[in-house]
Structure 1
Amino acid sequence: AKRALQEIWMAETKAAAELAFDAFIESYPPKYAKAADCLSKDRDTLLALYDFPAEHWKHLRTINPIESTFATVRHRTIRSK
């Protein structure tokens, strides 16, 4: 399931993401019914990433850009204790 979800958000194009999305929705409801329902309900929101220019996708896919920015500060703080 993790690999199938990664194929959605790491797709090269919106069309490829939609195909991966449809494949997940078709194959995983027996085992992950709640996840498939949740994804189906929020499909447009989840695929909104692909409405932006491709050069922005790398930055939009990051999980926590604020924490990444301060990672070096936290690293130095821990070492100084």
Structure 2
Amino acid sequence: MDKNTAVEFAGRQEAADLLTERGARELLQQAVKAELSTFMEAFQDRRLDDGRAAVVRNGHLSVRDIQTGIGPVTMKVPKVRSKDGKPVTCRSALVPPYLCKARALES
């Protein structure tokens, strides 16, 4: 009974960090990118007189930190612009404006 059967894993701490903060950020970025592509598909037929797209992607909003259960996650939300004068706003369901904390933390 004196025999220790515990096994030490080399590099365990580095793997845990990689799966949490970085993995969560990449997963959220992919989901926001998928939302944006769905939004842009809805406006693909909206064209200017010369045939160019009227609704285009235009950089990112300000980078912000969102508090989650695993810690702060830095997010870049893409921004959309209309070139034909009709306003268009792309709002992410995952990262709404002014979100600073995940809903799970609030409850």
Range into which the TM-score falls when normalised by the shorter chain: under 0.3
TM-score, reference length from structure 1 = 0.25
TM-score, structure 2 as length reference? 0.21
Q: Which has the higher helix share?
A: 1
**Quick check: which has more Rg, 1 or 2?**
2
Query: Where is the strand percentage greater, Structure 1 or Structure 2?
Result: 2
